Structure 1
Amino acid sequence: MSGTRKRNVQRDNLQLPTYVSKNRNGSKKKFRLQPVHFMFLLVGLCIGLIVTSAYDRWYRSRLVYTPFDSLIEHEDDMNKFWGTYRPQVYMGMKTKSPQSLVTGLMWLKQNKKFKGEPPMRHTCEQGDQILKYGWVAHDGVNFGIQDIAERGYMLRTEFVKRVNGDHGGDWTWRISGRQTGKEPITLSVFFYAATDGQGVIQPVVESGPNGLRLTKIQGETEELGKFTIKFPEENSGKKSRYHTATTKAEGLHKIKDAAFMQMQVREEGPKGKENYLYYLTDAPSRIDSKKAKSDVIFHQVTLELPFEIDIVFESGSWTNRRSLLAGDVFTKHLTQLKDKFDKKFEATFPLSDKGYSQGEVDFAKAALSNMIGGIGYFYGQSVVQSVYQSAPVLNWEAPLLTAVPSRSFFPRGFLWDEGFHQLLISKWDRQLSEEVIMSWLNMVNLEGWIPREQILGDEARSKVPAEFVVQRNTNANPPTLFLAIESILQGFDKQSITEQDRKFLKTIYPRLKAWFNWFNVTQSGPVQFSYRWRGRDAKTDSELNPKTLTSGLDDFPRASHPSDDERHIDLRCWMALAAGTMEKIAEVVHPGNSHEIEPYRQTHKILTDNNLLKELHWSADLGVFSDYGNHTDRVYLVKKDFPSSQPGQRPIIRTIRATRTKPKLQFVKNFGYVSLFPFLIQILKPDSQQLHQILQDLKGEDDLLWSNFGLRSLSKRDPLYRKRNTEHDPPYWRGQIWINMNFLAVRALKHYADTPGPYSKLAGELYAELRRNLVQNMYAEYVRTGYLWENYDDVTGKGQGSRPFTGWSALVVLIMSEQY
């Protein structure tokens, strides 16, 4: 009882705030706030906080799919309106417009009956096992020549453009075939034209000596106006057969399916020597008209090798053309353009002057041509998700002009790949490179974030596993566009920078600023001036070392147990590069404006401070630059039985990670590409002891990173060298030789060799040998296999991974020409 009374006394003695009000007659009236008033105030405050929090969450959830500003519009260049902007198919063209007319090529070897669908070639697939394919010459604008080597025969696809009128002018394809084996071969070549949601196309069929055949396609779209596609008589010594189908498809990604739905097969020839012919029929389309997005017209020509077929597109806005771009006229134009390409290539990359053989020069031309010919134009919406959303949402509709890493395996845009791509493209065609960079910066949202993969449109999305489609706004990717922009800046004459140059920098500066700020806000590390990649999975038990996909180095070993305490040295070095480039841009865009320039100058100064860098990332015990985090080397993959969810069923065997030693906060004990970043980005001073250590370690007694084919990604002594990351995931960045990192290495060695300092001679010796090893091996593998590869084996030098990989592996052209 006494306790209750005491509590009541305390309540009675509470001193509540006293308020004074005035009556109407002016006399004062005092009153006190009672506890019930506090209750109402508290409820009101809570409601206000809830409403404010809900609004804040709603507002933040919208940022992820809100563009930074109105999209940058590049000045129309009709010379580049049409192009081979469909890198995912063996041969195809479209315009740089959202709903373009698309054209494409398919082919099929006849004479055999197949179980199921016949092996029609259309989209670039590694499973097709084509011996070799790729552009041997492509100038990015006017022409291209591609060779496709199949077993027993060779195809060549060529195109030439003539620009006139209002819609990009005319173009012609030539498809030719020849036998390389003894067996007679009959091919069916399928050309198609398809709409993408708008426009009209109509076939014109006429009677000829070999029966009915499609002679032309007439059409009209919003971007092209009226046009005609003509099919002149092909050049072949044997009788040709023709089939046509006018049908519909659910979208551009379903065109091959639409062809199969119109296809029949018939048996020909005497018993025991039967041949089979797969042919198109013009039966009514079986596609539901409500689902159809595309009208498609197929033109099938079946003939024996050798042959030569011309397909001519003519713009209706060109009214005074003097000749058909076919036959000898086509050949003459192609010869002139190829000669012009060869001269420009030698002027840009003077390889003959450096003593390279004709075969090596042709190899370099093919590398450049495949990079240029691998540029695609995509239009659509990314699928994105913010932490403030319970489910993914669609981004705004936007176009993207981008070079793709691999036509067969990665036919879409990748953010960190693009910076490396533009190092080469900007040397060949700076205006084209600037257009690509501006196209990517159109993807910056209001937060300053750019999705690291751009999967735009049905064709692009059809090639991507579902788990990689959604892009999350917490995740970054190395800001390598700054590499390309810095390279472009070096090409400007500082004494006479043109207005066009200044306009480009002014256009991209606000978006770069937002992107740079986003990195500093979202990817900051646990201590001042440190950085940490987001996106690692701290809960997984299936990965030997949880991947860091956002770094671009995927399974390269990081701290074994992801945590918020991590510091990643590669990201810190990327930000140092970005800050220095932003400073240079600000000096051009805002000359004399210290408010704009000084923050970048100071940030760059801090991030390149060698003493601070050593404090945060130099492991004196290991003698290397390292990540820092919660780490142990004693981790293994083991098989373990787990009870089945079904009674009476046998246990489920899973491969999971086992930790033998408890992790602790420490420098991560790995030596590989990540350890080299202060050297790769040229942050270390020429007289730095750490630079000396790195140069010695590059080619030490044990060849930890050095090989006869390039620098391997991870030391041979590392516990995770060549180790699988899961039961099903083979090693990826755990020993393989990657050309983008090796390019940065030879670039850095050249820099330190040319910069006065105590280690310049050593850097020069390493530069010459590493450059030679890379070029010799890549050329030898190209001769052996016909391809540039995603990466190269560090023991045998053999190409591996996806092929053709003419993204950053094409940087071999810059290595050969010593343009860094």
Structure 2
Amino acid sequence: MYSSSFRQTKTNPARQRKKNINVNGESRSQKDEKPPVPFQSEKKKEKRIAISKLLINISIGLCIFSLVWFFYALYMRSAMTKRAVTLHPSPRLLDAKSTSAAVSPERFWGSYRPHVYFGMKTRSPRSVVTGLMWMSQISHSDVNLRHTCEQGDGLSSYGWLIHDGVNFGMQQIRDTDFTLTTTFVKRMGGEHGGDWTWRITGKQNNTASQAPIISLMFYVASDTQGYLQAHIEDKTRLSHVTGTSEELGDFKITFNKPTSREAATNKYASYNYLQTLSPGLDQLTDIVKNSLSHRFVFNPSTAEKRSYIAVDTYTPPPQKDNPIQSDFVVHQVTVQVPFQIEVLFESGSFHDRPNQLKGSVLTEELTSLKLSYREKFEETFGLQAKGFTPAQVRFGKAALSNMLGGMGYFFGQSVVQSNYHDYPILYPEAALFTAVPSRSFFPRGFLWDEGFHQLLISKWDPQLTREAVAHWLDLMNVEGWIPREQILGDEALSKVPSEFVVQHTENANPPTFFLVLEKIREQLDKPTNAPQLQDTLPFLRRLYTRLQTWFDWYKTTQAGPLPNSYRWRGRDKDTNRFLNPKTLTSGLDDYPRASHPSEDERHVDLYCWMVLASRILSSMAQLLGEPHQEYEHTYQTLSNNSLLSKLHWSEQLHAFCDYGNHTQAVSLQQEKVFVPPGPMRQQLPVKRLVRSVRKAPKLQYVNALGYVSLFPFLLQVLTPDSQKLEYILKDIRDPARLWTPYGLRSLSRSDPMYMKRNTEHDAPYWRGAIWININYLAVRALHHYSRKQGPYQEKAADLYQELRTNVINNIYKQYQETGYIWEQYSDSTGRGKGSHPFTGWSALIVLIMAEEY
């Protein structure tokens, strides 16, 4: 029994379920209680601990990674933010002192203040500036002060008749009752850019009933650097100003008394002067206006006395934000026309001056300079040899002279914003020597305009072009971006609406400098231009690295949705406000693009600019002995007419077009405003015109026929035997589409957007008007295809002659009738429109006349 029981217990203890217990003296049997079971086995415990540790480690890792990523993102954002305002690291094209009197004395002084009717300064950041203001003494209440070029002044005409870009210039200004002629002549000598003299003459207009009395205000301002000292004689007459500055050393400005035009006899004049301080050059006009008084009397012995307005006293307000102020001296001469006045600037370092540049000496020098100018103009452009009349030749000279006289020297900082900035910041301080589109409306630098400007200037003075191009390319940041609109300095800023001040680093502008480089490259191939190689090749070599970066920037930042397609960034995003959102970056502003901006767009004009750029870069690389295969490959790819047609040819329109999210069923409608009942009606917002979309947009070609459609032709991307060229030539000559007796209109008359306003306040701009820069490209392209073997050679030759004649005749006629060259011309009447004088790219008429393409 024992052994059996022992074996059972031993072998299978789980079977022993009962035992006897005594409860209150009673014995009973009860199942054994199970031993306590652990919450988890050791193995599960270990697994859970391991998982916990793993999760903790992952969490720690993620935290560390997040922190690293956060700080890396901050670093990269900071780095990218800095890159936006970091200039290109390659050696500057121009040394900081390249425009100084020591390096470039002949160009140191000039009419580099295009925004004023007449003034001069040096090519230095803080130049002493000189200028002229005037007003007619008509009545006690009128203060019609002229200073900065303003269309609102209503002058009959003004502009340079002759200007050689370096030594002298002569300008005519037709005011209401009189005409002023402003002349300057420079003379080299000394160490600070030499001397110069102004001669101002006044004569009565035929329409004036009597000889007007006018006041001329000659002024000098130091612009925070150096000082000025006024020298007074006879209590009120400022005889001369002496001064000194870092760039000029000691100098003296003498104000001679007015004389009669016919003889050197002095005329009666009243004199006043003002000596004060100015917080900025942009405030000179206001200072003079605020100093005027009516208390003075003009009392010639030969006429009755009359009161006149003159500068008197002025107290500058306290300057808390800008404690640095400039000396400002004004010399006022009140005189009756006709008269002649001379102002002499003499450098203190010009010790061996043979005589003063005034009177007969000035007249002789001016006569010699005019003769040299006339000879050079004919040698360069040959207008007389081509049969143009003397009046037409004078018109050509005026167009060129206004371009040269519109060169300005600016210094300051652009205001920029990138995707990595929350707010606009300042670009590095920089100088810019550039031509300007319009002295009255656009007296500042524009990137795509300047390429057209330099096409003309390079024909006249290649060195001037090299300097201007170098100044622009030196503004490039490390990414390859150049601010497309240059607003440098207080004077430039004062002329620009606030919404156009900030420049965005993702926005481009057409790279028209490649047109200039193409011309330079072609000139080097001519045996007669061999001497230019000495200056040009080193220039191109210095330029090349920056051009590479610039081109790469376009390829990456302006890339389109498909391989080898391109899209302008920076279109207006407010689709509710505009009939068609503008594309300012393309240079064609309100030209119809896809109605609903999107990343799916492809822009044919930008594609063609990239063809041109890759072709010129490939050619330059070969000239300089640099690797050219990449640019040649890009050029061969993009210039393939099959690819161009695949991306941009619309079979429906038989024209090259943009592509995007588009509908033509749009119009401007009066905004619907809910008017609640009650007395609050007068506080309701003013109703606006807003865009109404009657049909949803879809991805399609933007079937707008106009300048954009012509770009494969304008930039000579099409092969001479392309059938697409036949369609383009037909569209060009069709009066219902692009042809007019005055030039090619910008948008077909049959287009729904033709001459439509873009907002209630925006008149049509590139929607039908005739623009001379595009007409120049069209005449140039017709000339090109007329000289290439192909089925359309004869047709191109006929159109070339006809279009060239139409454009020349109309611009000349408008100049004769209005006194101005204009920004654009009406396609229905040929009349000048827009800003004036517009002697930026409209001055390309000289190259059209000369047949220089």
Q: Is the TM value for this pair above 0.5?
A: yes
Aligned residue number for residue 28 of structure 1:
none
Q: How many residues align?
A: 788
Task: Name the amino acid aligned to 1:50.
Answer: F
Aligned residue number for residue 55 of structure 2:
35
1:168 to 166, 172, 193: 193
Greater displacement, 253-262 / 413-422: 253-262
CA contact (8 A) 1:111 1:275 kept: no
Task: Name the amino acid aligned to 2:123.
Answer: K
Task: Name the amino acid aligned to 1:371.
Answer: M
Query: Is 1:55 paired with 2:79?
Result: no
How much does 1:649 deviate? 2.7
CA contact (8 A) 1:576 1:608 kept: yes
Q: How does 1:224-243 map to 2 (within 5 A)?
A: 224-236=248-260, 238-243=267-272
Task: Name the amino acid aligned to 1:341.
Answer: Y
How much does 1:204 deviate? 1.2
CA contact (8 A) 1:219 1:228 kept: yes
**C-alpha distance in structure 2 between counterparts of 1:354 and 1:166, whole Å:** 43
CA contact (8 A) 1:548 1:555 kept: yes
SS for the counterpart of 2:468 is: helix
**C-alpha distance in structure 1 between counterparts of 2:631 and 2:564, whole Å:** 14
Greater displacement, 283-292 / 504-513: 283-292
1:148 to 162, 173, 183: 173
**C-alpha distance in structure 2 between counterparts of 1:444 and 1:494, whole Å:** 31
Unpaired runs of 5+ in structure 2? 1-39, 261-265
Residue 229 and residue 635 in structure 1: after superposition, are their counterparts in 2 closer, same or farther (change >3 A)? Answer: same
Greater displacement, 174-183 / 792-801: 174-183
Q: How does 1:725-736 map to 2 (within 5 A)?
A: 725-736=758-769
What TM-score do you get using the length of structure 2 for normalisation?
0.90
How much does 1:305 deviate? 0.5
How much does 1:14 deviate? 11
**C-alpha distance in structure 2 between counterparts of 1:153 and 1:640, whole Å:** 50
What percentage of residue pairs aligned between the two structures are identical?
Answer: 50
How much does 1:34 deviate? 2.6
How much does 1:322 deviate? 1.5
**Deviations along 1:355-383, whole A, 9 cap, x unmatched?**
10001000000000000000000000000
**C-alpha distance in structure 1 between counterparts of 2:605 and 2:348, whole Å:** 54
Greater displacement, 277-286 / 803-812: 277-286
SS for the counterpart of 1:537 is: coil
Query: Is 1:313 paired with 2:345?
Result: yes
Unpaired runs of 5+ in structure 1? 1-7, 19-30
**C-alpha distance in structure 2 between counterparts of 1:818 and 1:809, whole Å:** 15
SS for the counterpart of 2:408 is: strand
**C-alpha distance in structure 2 between counterparts of 1:465 and 1:663, whole Å:** 33
CA contact (8 A) 2:150 2:440 kept: yes
CA contact (8 A) 1:538 1:563 kept: no
**C-alpha distance in structure 2 between counterparts of 1:300 and 1:49, whole Å:** 67
**C-alpha distance in structure 2 between counterparts of 1:14 and 1:802, whole Å:** 85
Query: Is 1:640 paired with 2:660?
Result: no
CA contact (8 A) 1:248 1:292 kept: no
What TM-score do you get using the length of structure 1 for normalisation?
0.93
Query: Is 1:261 paired with 2:290?
Result: yes
SS for the counterpart of 2:610 is: helix
**C-alpha distance in structure 1 between counterparts of 2:305 and 2:693, whole Å:** 64
**Deviations along 1:456-491, whole A, 9 cap, x unmatched?**
000000000000000000111000011111111111
Aligned residue number for residue 251 of structure 1:
280
Aligned residue number for residue 23 of structure 1:
none
Task: Name the amino acid aligned to 1:215.
Answer: S
**Deviations along 1:673-709, whole A, 9 cap, x unmatched?**
0000000000000000001111111113x43100000
Residue 575 and residue 312 in structure 1: after superposition, are their counterparts in 2 closer, same or farther (change >3 A)? Answer: same
Residue 327 and residue 644 in structure 1: after superposition, are their counterparts in 2 closer, same or farther (change >3 A)? Answer: farther
Query: Is 1:623 paired with 2:657?
Result: no
Greater displacement, 487-496 / 571-580: 487-496
Aligned residue number for residue 219 of structure 2:
192
How much does 1:296 deviate? 0.5
Q: How does 1:740-819 map to 2 (within 5 A)?
A: 740-819=773-852
**C-alpha distance in structure 2 between counterparts of 1:367 and 1:612, whole Å:** 40
CA contact (8 A) 1:104 1:191 kept: yes
Q: How does 1:471-490 map to 2 (within 5 A)?
A: 471-490=503-522
2:491 to 453, 459, 467: 459
1:81 to 97, 102, 108: 108
Query: Is 1:139 paired with 2:164?
Result: yes
CA contact (8 A) 1:262 1:285 kept: no
1:656 to 683, 690, 703: 690
**Deviations along 1:573-614, whole A, 9 cap, x unmatched?**
00111111111221222x1x4xx3111111111111100000
How much does 1:267 deviate? 6.5
Aligned residue number for residue 358 of structure 2:
326
Aligned residue number for residue 22 of structure 1:
none
Residue 14 and residue 218 in structure 1: after superposition, are their counterparts in 2 closer, same or farther (change >3 A)? Answer: farther
**C-alpha distance in structure 2 between counterparts of 1:288 and 1:801, whole Å:** 38
SS for the counterpart of 2:331 is: strand
RMSD (Å) for aligned C-alpha atoms: 2.1
How much does 1:279 deviate? 1.3
Aligned residue number for residue 757 of structure 2:
724
Q: How does 1:416-455 map to 2 (within 5 A)?
A: 416-455=448-487
Aligned residue number for residue 203 of structure 2:
178
**C-alpha distance in structure 1 between counterparts of 2:259 and 2:775, whole Å:** 47
Q: How does 1:700-715 map to 2 (within 5 A)?
A: 700=734, 702-715=735-748
2:231 to 194, 200, 204: 204
**C-alpha distance in structure 1 between counterparts of 2:475 and 2:525, whole Å:** 29
